[in-house]
Structure 1
Amino acid sequence: MGFMAIKAGRRRIDGAAFEKRVLMIASGLAGIGVAAGDAVALLMRNDTCFLEATFAIQHLGAYAVPLNWHCKADELLYIIEDCAAKILIVHADLLRGLRPRLPDMIAVIAVATPDHIAEAFRVPHESRGVPAGLRAWDRWIDEQTPMQAPTQPAPESLIYTSGTTGSPKGVRRKAQTSEQAILGEIMRARVFGIGAGARVLVAAPLYHTAPNLFASRAIRKGELLVLPPRFDPEGLLQHIERHAMTHLYAVPTMFARMLNLPERMRRRYDLSSLSFVLHAGGPCPPAVKRAMIEWLGPIINEYYGSTEHGPLSFSTSADWLARPGTVGRAAPSATISIQNDTGLQLPPGEVGEVLGHNAACSDFTYLHREGARAELQRGDLLMTGDLGYLDADGYLFLCDRKRDMVISGGVNIYPAEIESVLMEHDGVADCVVFGIPHPEFGEAVMAIVEPQHERQLDPEMIRVFLAGRLASYKVPARIEVRQGLPREESGKIRKRLLRDPYWQGAGRTI
């Protein structure tokens, strides 16, 4: 690690201090019993402690398991128990409602919620401090002696991603081979663009794979990493100007919100230091992407991939302007194939399922679900569940998702999970959930509910019902109640017939 500093709020930690704290944390975790192959859960917002913990856990050869702090207690507990986490490291305010339900065997290390995060999320003062009886992060670290043992071979990650059935799956990667490490360095240099002197800004949540990797790359290769507590459009511009940021990771929703700022406000800030902007996490509306390129110049880059596949394709601004809508050509070490349902490779221009593999990424399994991993395999490639085509020059265009996943604001949302919860309502006879176009988030979640005979359902009451059972971002933005939903002969709801009218005139189907 050769970086100079990480800045989060009013706290700035230089590289030497960061490395010392990582070794002290590793020593402390080992003292509690963490060893290679164990899991440590992280429930924190974007903060230096998230990255300190991640690097310390990896130093031990253990798995750092980031948790989505938007999730409800039931969702968090499922992951904590599924990965058999030995320790939970958590911002103090996020313990509310969770602590009494934690497994007895898990140790908790609480981080006092920093003022800048508390202010950004309006955390009351009484919820910011470490509860009595728990290890307090900074005090606990001060009691440790830096570990002298060599770094263990570190597994790349154990990150949970929701499955199409709605229950999260742990994507557990094996350690990289020496060849994969070399290929991975070439791939990351191209896709992330971060090298010596890079000043990197990450405002997307670190519990997501892409911003997590982007931030980790900044620590290993860059000069400065800045972590705002949450995304704020004007605040982002202020950070870019104030710290002369050169690299930015974003999702399309952030672009839309930045473009919604008044023109005079956008012109107020000097953004000339920016040289590389990377976006992923869902489709970017063409008008939004074109406007971003016109505003910031040809520095907007995109990659397409997933937690399971890693980066599969990469597109520069020049690529996109020459072929609007493309997500680029195969990334370094990646292979992309378009196939029909029988596994036949399709010619350029013909739509089929996108399959891919990146040789720079170590292999993975689904924790406790090896069979689910095998279902993705087709020869040397893995199915993505996306539909698309390659043009004659090998540029990939996505058309639709074979599975019905919705990507809203860069977050993957699975309709099957929401439909399952809706069916728990005693007034719901049947339902269907899908994505509809949204100018800011790319997609929004919509639910159409068929009521039980002679029952009157109020959409707002359904929303309240869901809000108590699902993370807020999974609650449909739009809910309609309809009698007599269209069905196949088999009785299955014709989802496409209900979904398609909302996409007419959108200029895209995903």
Structure 2
Amino acid sequence: MSEPFVRLGNRVKTLAEVKGRAARFASALQSMGLEHGDRYAIVMVNDIGFVEANLAASAAGAVPVPVNWHWTGVDLKHLLTDSGAKVAVVHSHLIPGVEAQRPEGMQIIEAEVPQEIREAYHLGDVPLTGRYPVLADLIEGAEPAVAAGGAPPLAVIYTSGTTGLAKGILRDPITADKAEGVTRFISEFLRMGPGLTTVLPAPLYHTAPNVNMTFGAALGMSLIIMPKFDAEEFLRLVQEHQVDTVQMVPTMFHRMLDLPEDVRGKYDLSSLKHVVHAAAPCPAETKRAMIEWLGPIISEYYGGSEGGAWTYSTSEGWLTHPGTVGKAVTGADVRILGPDLEELPVGETGVIYGRSEFWPDFTYIGNDEKRRSIEAADGFITVGDVGRLDEDGYLYLSDRLNDMVISGGVNIYPAEIESTLLSLEGVFDAAVFGIPDADMGEALAAHIQPRPGVQLTEEQVKDHVASHLAKYKVPKVVVFEEELPREDTGKLFKRRLKEKYWPAKAQA
């Protein structure tokens, strides 16, 4: 078995080297005044330096706060202030944005932007600003730190903020028994383990990729980092490095399936034994097409950044229960609760609540009340999704609770309409949501991204929905967009689309 490595493009370091550099960076953080339990922000694009900065937490006794580097303005200011981070590690091209929004007293460490990132994002030359200590220099000039004071909490992940300002999830320190449970889940369901190779195709500031990176390094896996997802490049990496297992999101499936068949057929993907997806709903047509292409190696789990994974489904489970996101995993439980938090019978739709014995408990930074508001009895929490359980215990998602539209007193779940729109030839993406209506309270609006070169009409869209669903589910307003705003995880930023219809809510 070859020595595990961390790779970005043509740059490669052994995993042992990366861990050693992380320990030296931890020492540098301590010399800058970070104490046990303090937080530091990572404002970086996917990079080997990101891995080093993140892994430094265990030796420094501090808590990393991975930052969505796309955020600017009020979103970024809120995160940097709310997190209480004392230091921010920032790629050079992102420094102006951080400088404009950082709270008083926050120190900055500058990270050089490697060629792979400059090319992926068409940045051109990005020189160091010369205003701050440089990450590489700090690492080279420090001795390895020795961790003290017990295990700190896991990384503080901020929710995507698709419906409002993001919330920082501060977890309890991970105990030995919970670490064992998380490791068991990662081994059994994500199929990660010593000596295996994985690709990290999604942004490392999100929960699942961050967990994959952290535990993959701990397990002695080889990590191949993509600075930005590219469908054909992903296939090339799988073939070249004989990748064993990978975690993806449905948006990546769409992009791979959109490749011409002759392009997809060029690559030998036989090394790939397991592909797991999460984070956003996967249309049934897409899931079935992926299974037909790669075989029954596609699995899925459901949960949230707050509560970890609650359910899991294999390809076989999904094919016999189309549309499911799986059954409760060992150590987890799921309930469907009604308005008075009463448990609903099998088949009835309500709010999904779950709990996990192996995932550390948490609170929202500075908002314990919000944390309490999402909990029912016996430690069950909700991440705001609506769904149902069938007689076999399989869970099905209906929609986000916040996305539900009440029109004329009737509850309408936009996800059902979005799925119908995606089955219309020529539709690449669709977002359905409620807009003000003087008569009905709310009406439905559909924003649609056609496939390149396709011309669709409002009448075609409405007729298609009317032929599949009840008439009250036909959108009143249809808007065609060049591109819909989505997170890198595939989650729709409906808030951005809604703002022009609900200006008062947007301001609030």
TM-score range, shorter chain: 0.7 to 0.9
* SS, match of residue 272 in structure 2: coil
- CA deviations over 1:17-75 (Å, ceiling 9, x no partner): 11210110010000001111211001111111111111112322321111111111331
Aligned residue identity for 1:324? P
Of 298-307 and 439-448, the range deviating more from structure 2: 439-448
- CA deviations over 1:400-455 (Å, ceiling 9, x no partner): 2222299xxxxxxxxxxxxxxxxxxxxxxxxxxx87457599864468878xxxxx
- Spell out the pairing of 1:43-442 with structure 2 (5 A cutoff): 43-125=43-125, 128-150=126-148, 152-162=150-160, 166-380=164-378, 381-404=380-403, 436=418, 439=422
* SS, match of residue 157 in structure 2: strand
Aligned residue identity for 1:227? I
Identity score, percent: 36
> For the aligned residues, what is the CA RMSD?
2.8
Does the 8 A contact of 1:353 with 1:384 survive in 2? no
| Cα distance in structure 2, aligned partners of 1:441 and 1:91 | 37
> What TM-score do the two structures reach when normalised by structure 2?
0.81
Between Structure 1 and Structure 2, how many residues are aligned? 443
- CA deviations over 1:225-277 (Å, ceiling 9, x no partner): 10011000111111011111111111101001100000011000000000010
| Cα distance in structure 1, aligned partners of 2:55 and 2:289 | 37
Aligned residue identity for 2:341? G
Aligned residue identity for 1:393? D
Aligned residue identity for 2:137? R
The offset of 1:331, in angstroms, is 1.8
Does the 8 A contact of 2:313 with 2:325 survive in 1? yes
Does the 8 A contact of 1:21 with 1:141 survive in 2? yes
| Cα distance in structure 2, aligned partners of 1:283 and 1:505 | 23
The offset of 1:336, in angstroms, is 0.2
| Cα distance in structure 2, aligned partners of 1:216 and 1:503 | 44
Change (3 A) 1:28 1:447: same
Does the 8 A contact of 2:22 with 2:52 survive in 1? yes
Does the 8 A contact of 1:250 with 1:279 survive in 2? yes
Of 250-259 and 135-144, the range deviating more from structure 2: 135-144
Of 332-341 and 436-445, the range deviating more from structure 2: 436-445
Does the 8 A contact of 2:190 with 2:276 survive in 1? yes
Change (3 A) 1:175 1:97: closer
- CA deviations over 1:162-210 (Å, ceiling 9, x no partner): 5576111111001123332222222222232101221101111111101
Does the 8 A contact of 2:435 with 2:445 survive in 1? no
| Cα distance in structure 2, aligned partners of 1:356 and 1:333 | 11
* SS, match of residue 159 in structure 2: strand
| Cα distance in structure 1, aligned partners of 2:61 and 2:468 | 47
* SS, match of residue 265 in structure 2: helix
* SS, match of residue 189 in structure 2: helix
> What TM-score do the two structures reach when normalised by structure 1?
0.81
* SS, match of residue 392 in structure 2: coil
| Cα distance in structure 2, aligned partners of 1:507 and 1:266 | 35
In structure 2, the residue matched to 1:24 is 24
- Moved segments of 4+, more than 4 Å: 162-165, 434-450, 495-510
Long gaps (5+) in structure 1: 407-433, 451-484
The offset of 1:150, in angstroms, is 4.6
Does the 8 A contact of 2:301 with 2:310 survive in 1? yes
